[in-house]
Amino acid sequence: MRLTDVIGVASGLGASNPGCQDGPEVLRSLGFFRDLDWPPGACAWRDIVRPPAEPGLTALERVARVAEAVHERVAESLRAGHFPLVIGGDHSLAIGTWSGVQTALGHEGRLGLVWIDAHMDSHTFETTPSRAIHGMPLACLLGQGEPRLTNIGGEGAKLLPEDVCLIGVRSFESGEADLLKRLGVRVYFMDEVRRRGLSEVFHEAWQRVMRHAAHGGISLDLDALDPEEEPGVGTPVAGGLCRAELIAALRSLRDDRRLRCLEIVEYNPHADRCFATARAVHDLCASVSGGAP
């Protein structure tokens, strides 16, 4: 029985639309994680990380400080033998999450990561048209871009390109696509997912990232899902994954002890309708939670 630490991250500083900063507080207040809590105490909100309050910091410095705090919380949770479930917040917090996994578990072997997202999140300040840092976390984890972001929890890359796959991509710019291509990262674009089905693609992606890895993780940006069904996201893009398919895919990892961390990001309660997307967050967590009855 593995305890789950829910780590909320109330920051939208990396996004152009900061609405997802309120995601964790809304999800916590709904009590949606209570039925994952079986037996009692198995799943608990440990903390909500917030941006530093002190004045005079740039947005970049604030994002880096949030990522450092997330790095600490995630590493601490894993060292205690728990399962960190990170709830965002914008996707820039992923820099902290997966650096934290490396800090705690890096000595055991490599980290495999499946990144489920409508976007590539692989810009650097040289290629980004928006300058929004939630468009950069995967590049940072691959050791590319701004040193204040790539050096969190230790210098340089936290992931090798062959240990990463993206699923669900349908909106991207050439600069980031060129970077992933140059590094040799496998991207399952949305048209391939539609052609082959998510179940087959997800299974292949997980096998692929775990070929050389000792432990693995899932980074789920809710904008990978179709906005018709899930309106409550930061940056909606038409034509995404359907919730039931994704739940079924994640359920296949339920008994896979190599899965050590899950993050679900970009929940924007201001854009949600009747808490539909909040419910999706719950159901997605329940699909991998070993603690659910």
134 labelled catalytic: yes
Of 2-10, 114-122, 148-156, 284-292, the segment contacting Mn ion by CB under 5 A is 114-122
223 labelled catalytic: yes
Nearer of residues 82 and 91 to Mn ion, judged by Cβ: 91
Contact status, residue 91 vs residue 266, Cβ threshold 8 Å: yes
The yes or no reply on residue 121 touching Mn ion (CB under 5 A) is yes
For the record, the structure tokens of 110 come out as 């490599």
Of 74-82, 84-92, 171-179, 206-214, the segment contacting Mn ion by CB under 5 A is 84-92
221 labelled catalytic: yes
Of 115-123, 170-178, 185-193, 256-264, the segment contacting Mn ion by CB under 5 A is 115-123
Query: CA torsion, points 82, 88, 259, 206, in degrees to nearest 10?
Result: 180
Q: In the set 62, 65, 91, 243, which binds Mn ion (CB under 5 A)?
A: 91
The yes or no reply on residue 117 touching Mn ion (CB under 5 A) is yes
Nearer of residues 5 and 221 to Mn ion, judged by Cβ: 221
Binding mask 194-233 for Mn ion (x = CB under 5 A): ---------------------------x------------
Of 3-11, 21-29, 36-44, 90-98, the segment contacting Mn ion by CB under 5 A is 90-98
Residue type, 124: T
CB of residue 212 to Mn ion, shortest distance in Å? 25
121 labelled catalytic: yes
Q: How many residues bind Mn ion (CB under 5 A)?
A: 4
Which of 136, 15, 6 is closest to 73 using CA atoms? 6
Active-site entry in 82, 123, 134, 282: 134
Contact status, residue 9 vs residue 88, Cβ threshold 8 Å: yes
215 labelled catalytic: no
Active-site entry in 5, 68, 146, 223: 223
Binding-site ranges for Mn ion (CB under 5 A): 91, 117, 121, 221
Which sequence positions are flagged as catalytic? 91, 117, 119, 121, 134, 221, 223, 266
